Amino acid sequence: MPGKILVAAATRREAADLLELSTVKQGRGSDRDAPVRVSINSIPFYLGITGIGSVNTASRLTRFIERIDPGLIIQTGIAGTFRESGLDIGDVAVADREVYIHTGVENPASPYPLDPLPFPLVQDQKETCRGVFHPDLNFSETAQKSAENALAGAGVKVKKGLFITVSTITASRETERLLYKLFTPLAESMEGAAAAQTANLYGIPFVEIRAVSNFVGIRDKSRWNIPRACRNACSACAEVIRSVGGPESPRTG
């Protein structure tokens, strides 16, 4: 068992369906930044809202970690996907790598891809020189299987692969094609790499599971389906908690 489980989402809307599936055991009280203690099938976990973007995610997640000392962090929510990924609106993706694409050194001869930084962002993790962070392999495999079980028969695909984190939302076909050529990502968000880096700095296993709300590129919101994506992401996340959860215990390691 991982000990205390912390689920992080960028917005309250992305976590609302998970709360509907849960029993609230302890609210925030007067501290709006505190995670809520809830449970599913008598399995306790904590749910915290980080805010949108890398800085909000890193700062708020650090406060959550210092407060509850989790043994596993699960990030959930919605994401854009790439047309070439094979995913569609409502499908679910599990990260096996997170890349903050703005990490590196510009090469004047060829602006992309960036050259690696001359130092790692996480000690002894060489790939972080390129902004690459790794979720926990075993928990990620469990998350993929759990999502498949939760959404079996619903016509929802579940894939595991590389996610990218951006500070600028992609809004053109040209940028979409370039990012897919460079990284072959399943999903794009604004928080994942920050959460993964923060978890890695604390030595806490990290899992990221998101559902597709839209295609990356030209922003045609009439084709988005945020409610379906939120619902599927939360259903998958709930099943992950059921699969790995148990009585709370102090984190070890």
> What share of the chain has pLDDT > 70, as a percent?
94
Quote the strand ranges of 82-229, DSSP E. Answer: 92-100, 132-133, 158-165, 187-189, 206-215
Looking at residue 116, the DSSP 8-state letter turns out to be: P
**Distance set, CA 141 to CA 8, 187, 230 (Å):** 19, 17, 21
Q: Answer yes or no: is pLDDT of 71 > 90.
A: yes
User: pLDDT tens digits, residue range 122-150?
Assistant: 999 999 999 999 999 999 999 999 999 99
Domain 5-244, second-level architecture = 3-Layer(aba) Sandwich (3.40)
> What pLDDT score does 253 carry?
47
Q: Which two tokens stand for residue 238?
A: 């709930």
pTM of the full structure: 0.93
> What pLDDT score does 34 carry?
83
Q: Answer yes or no: is pLDDT of 30 > 60.
A: no
Buried b (16+ CB within 10 A) or exposed e, 48-80: bbbeebbebbbebbeebbeebebbbbbbbbbbb
Q: How many CB atoms lie within 10 A of CB 117?
A: 14
Q: Mean of the per-residue pLDDT values for the chain?
A: 93
User: pLDDT tens digits, residue range 224-238?
Assistant: 999 999 999 999 999
Residue found by looking up tokens 């759990």 in the block: 146
User: pLDDT tens digits, residue range 155-205?
Assistant: 999 999 999 999 999 999 999 999 999 999 999 999 999 999 999 999 999
> What pLDDT score does 28 carry?
60
- What confidence category does residue 2 fall into, taking pLDDT thresholds of 50, 70 and 90? confident
Query: Which residues have a Cβ under 8 Å from the Cβ of 83 and sit 6 or more positions away?
Result: 176, 215, 216, 217
Q: Answer yes or no: is pLDDT of 29 > 60.
A: no
